[in-house]
Structure 1
Amino acid sequence: MTTDLADRFAAALDPATKSLAVAVSGGGDSMACLDLADDWAKRRGVHLRAVTVDHGLRPEAADEAVHVTRVCAARGIPHAVLHWHWDRRGNLQASARQGRYALIGDWAQDCGIDTVVLGHTTDDIAESFLLRLRRAPGVDGLAAMPSRFERHGVRWVRPLLRASRAELRRHLTARGLGWVEDPSNDDPRYDRARARALRTALEPLGVTTSGLARAATALRDGAEALDWAVSRIAEDHVTVVGGDLLLERLDDLPAELARRLTLRALRVVGGAPPPRQAALTAIHSGLVQAGQHTLAGCLIRQDGAALRIAREPAVVSGLRMDTTEPWDRHWRLQGPHAPQFQIAALGDAVALCPDWRQTGFPRDSLRASPAIWRNEELIAAPLAGLSNGWSAEWTGWRDESAPSGYGN
């Protein structure tokens, strides 16, 4: 066991971790991660599992999963193989990545696992940096992948971001452990393979893997500093009106802070994946002033000098649940709860609320607001002036604490 490597691995994990899983493909990075995790878990009495996702995209993948199963069986590590199938929609690589997280996240929750370890390395940071350059991204687009994050109800940790791919293979060789080489790693048809070739070609110019990784890590630090700043300026620039957010005096802010504040508001209200930076640039260039626009599950329009971000009614039109549960993530209703009542969007039934104009809320904001229903009978619409003993509280901005960056 390489002591320094083991120490770095241990330092990245929460000592309070009770159950751990390792995502293992069979490649050198993940096999080294499995070995380090096995040692860490045994020394601390932590239950360890391993999981492999077969995307069904390469004929070799099934054999690689069998190899991992055999290695795990020899070490007494429970191992699960999950299967993902592409629906032929969207970008294949992005879909596979999202599907992998979803599958593993659901599996981990079912197994009572609180932490999943990923074997990404310094090389992955450098290659991702090069791949993202072609999109002309902002700070977040070039920032290093985070060392830990929450997704699908699970904590994910990358304890080997300060280790190189070569270092992990030396570790495996010293331990007498093997691994499987994915042939696509050297296939120029794949973006990641081309990024690896480019990384090698840049080294004679002094652009090294470690240098690229340091640059990406510095950008990650910068992104976190910007998020910190957004959290503090929000109090002076965001007003909560019902479930809408009014972003005020954006012109007083540096462009990047205005974009990040808008992005955070969109994510809080809409709960959707972050939009591309070009879409936000269009908003702040004044295109949105021409009317009402939809983006990331939200309606966006000018409201005097402010930018109003509201929930898009169509997105919540089919959302229905018990009155005691949070509705659309952030709404909590209080009133005479009864089994026959449910929360659903008010929708076009806003016309049944005679005082809705006196509330001051835009009609579309009210259409996306929560109402109390008994089957198809409207019982109450608190925001539309039809309370009947019910009140509604939107806790979105108060509960929001996650960073506002453009993605992991």
Structure 2
Amino acid sequence: MSLTSLAAALTQALQEGFGHTVPERIGVAVSGGGDSMALLDLLRVWGKAELYVASVDHGLRPESAEEVASVADYVAHHGLKHTALRWDWDRQGNLQQAAREGRRRLLRDWAGAQGLGCVALGHTADDQAETFLMRLARGSGVDGLSAMEPARKEGDITWVRPLLKVRRETLRAYLRERGLAWADDPSNDDETYDRIKARQMMATLEPLGLSVARLTQTSDHMRAQRGLADWAVERAEQDVMSYDVGDVLFDRTGLKALPDALQARLISKALGWVSGNSYRPRFKALAEVLDAHAPKALHGCLVIPKAGMLRISREWNAVKDLRTGVDAVWDGRWRLARAGGGVSAGLEIAALGEAGMAQVPDWRLSARPRQSVLSSPAVWQGDTLVSAPLAGLANGWEAQVLAP
């Protein structure tokens, strides 16, 4: 693919991703590897947006600091703006997953601080195909096998992947032609990682017709099916789903009348909103919830069956230690505000809990289940309860939940 063709593919991807209105300022995540270095140079040559560059040093390899420094040298040479970000692993959970989530969080915070509305990522067609194979091996369904999207909005940030139609080797050829250096991560040859196994398997699958092009095509088909499923969910919501402030309510009879896959999507969406967890529970766990006859904890939530309804509330154990200032968003979706302003010092938002409910003897008048009231947000001054709006003790405060 020539420079002209690459530039044309980049322009088309950006225009499609932004509805033909490309931002004047774009953030670029650049590790120093071939894909992101090619993306940065292509965007610079394209020249239709002011570029802000960020590099995340995971500190997992001795060479990583040098790679970030090489990006800084390129950026300085071309008069661009560069920020080096540092991620440190807390030794909790899966390293690769933690690194991905940490990198995304750092980039999101950086973009917000810079006032950027979008960040470009260097994912390629090869990444698309490898991800498909990895998820296929894990038994993923339509959502997991769906293609990465060229543009995806999350909160105030739009993540764009302009090179999803471009092969990795094409970008390497571009860099060689331009005389630009890039860093090769040694972990790209480490067969303990699933992605490397998938990458090596591609050579075996190619003669069978399972090429990168075919796998990405199938992934695109899955994305279309996912869009259809999302459309069906939106329409089913109107018939079987409602909200009680921060809880989600389902008409159990109407829910059970839907196809199993649609039931699972609706429950999963509700669990995700109440808990703030972006990952879906396993299908088996969702199926068990539908047949539950007693409250069941799942995904940081409590599913409460009662009188033909299914209520999803926040689980007390998930928020019992969560405390924020009264000017912050609590549990990712609650704002507590006092009418007329004028907030005293030393106030915090925390879950009501048993101690708080003991100070609100009339909480039953709220007509909410005890489990739901227990995990509701309240204003505290030390051990003294100031306000519990959802339990009926407002004291001039109002609880507002962010829209799902």
- What TM-score do the two structures reach when normalised by structure 1? 0.87
SS state at 1:8 partner: helix
Residue aligning to 1:251: 256
The offset of 1:84, in angstroms, is 1.9
Say whether residues 1:383 and 2:387 are aligned partners.
no
Residue aligning to 2:363: 356
Q: State how 1:304-319 maps to structure 2 within 5 Å.
A: 304-317=307-320, 318-319=322-323
Distance 1:194 1:290 in 2: 44
Conservation of the 8 A alpha-carbon contact between 2:337 and 2:399:
yes
Residue aligning to 1:403: none
Distance 1:242 1:27, change over 3 A: closer
Distance 1:147 1:389, change over 3 A: same
Conservation of the 8 A alpha-carbon contact between 2:27 and 2:116:
yes
The offset of 1:63, in angstroms, is 2.8
For 2:39, give the aligned amino acid.
C
Say whether residues 1:241 and 2:248 are aligned partners.
no
SS state at 1:352 partner: coil
Residue aligning to 1:161: 164
Conservation of the 8 A alpha-carbon contact between 2:336 and 2:397:
no
What is the aligned counterpart of 1:339 among 338, 343, 348? 343
The C-alpha deviation readout for 1:348-368, integer Å capped at 9, x for no partner, is 222332322233211111112
Which consecutive residues of structure 2, in runs of 5 or more, have no partner in the other structure?
none
Distance 1:242 1:107, change over 3 A: closer
SS state at 2:358 partner: helix
Residue aligning to 1:267: 272
The C-alpha deviation readout for 1:158-186, integer Å capped at 9, x for no partner, is 01101111222232233333323223223
- Percentage of matched positions with identical amino acids: 43
Distance 2:196 2:397 in 1: 58
Distance 2:45 2:143 in 1: 34
Distance 1:380 1:52 in 2: 44
**Worse-matched range after superposition: 96-105 or 18-27:** 18-27
Say whether residues 1:370 and 2:374 are aligned partners.
no
Comparing both chains, which one has the higher relative contact order based on Cα–Cα distances under 8 Å and sequence gaps of 6 or more?
1
The offset of 1:33, in angstroms, is 0.3
Distance 1:327 1:53 in 2: 28
Distance 1:274 1:310 in 2: 17
Say whether residues 1:7 and 2:8 are aligned partners.
yes
Conservation of the 8 A alpha-carbon contact between 2:377 and 2:388:
yes
Distance 1:70 1:242 in 2: 52
Conservation of the 8 A alpha-carbon contact between 2:120 and 2:162:
yes
Distance 2:330 2:375 in 1: 11
Residue aligning to 2:51: 48
Distance 1:383 1:110, change over 3 A: closer
RMSD: 2.5
Residue aligning to 2:39: 33
Conservation of the 8 A alpha-carbon contact between 1:380 and 1:390:
yes
For 2:40, give the aligned amino acid.
L
The C-alpha deviation readout for 1:282-339, integer Å capped at 9, x for no partner, is 23235862532322321113223322100122333333433x7654424555646432
Distance 1:178 1:29, change over 3 A: same
Distance 1:188 1:315, change over 3 A: closer
What is the aligned counterpart of 1:140 among 122, 126, 143? 143
Residue aligning to 1:22: 28
The C-alpha deviation readout for 1:104-129, integer Å capped at 9, x for no partner, is 22222223332211110111000011
The C-alpha deviation readout for 1:251-282, integer Å capped at 9, x for no partner, is 1111111111111111111112324324xx22
For 1:162, give the aligned amino acid.
K
The offset of 1:5, in angstroms, is 1.7
Distance 1:183 1:387 in 2: 58
The offset of 1:23, in angstroms, is 1.5
Distance 1:379 1:78 in 2: 47
Distance 2:83 2:203 in 1: 35
Distance 1:339 1:229 in 2: 45
Distance 1:315 1:8 in 2: 46
SS state at 1:128 partner: helix
Conservation of the 8 A alpha-carbon contact between 1:313 and 1:364:
yes
SS state at 1:289 partner: coil
SS state at 2:292 partner: helix
Distance 2:95 2:318 in 1: 25
**Worse-matched range after superposition: 167-176 or 190-199:** 167-176
The C-alpha deviation readout for 1:221-248, integer Å capped at 9, x for no partner, is 2112211221221121112223221122
Distance 1:367 1:197, change over 3 A: same
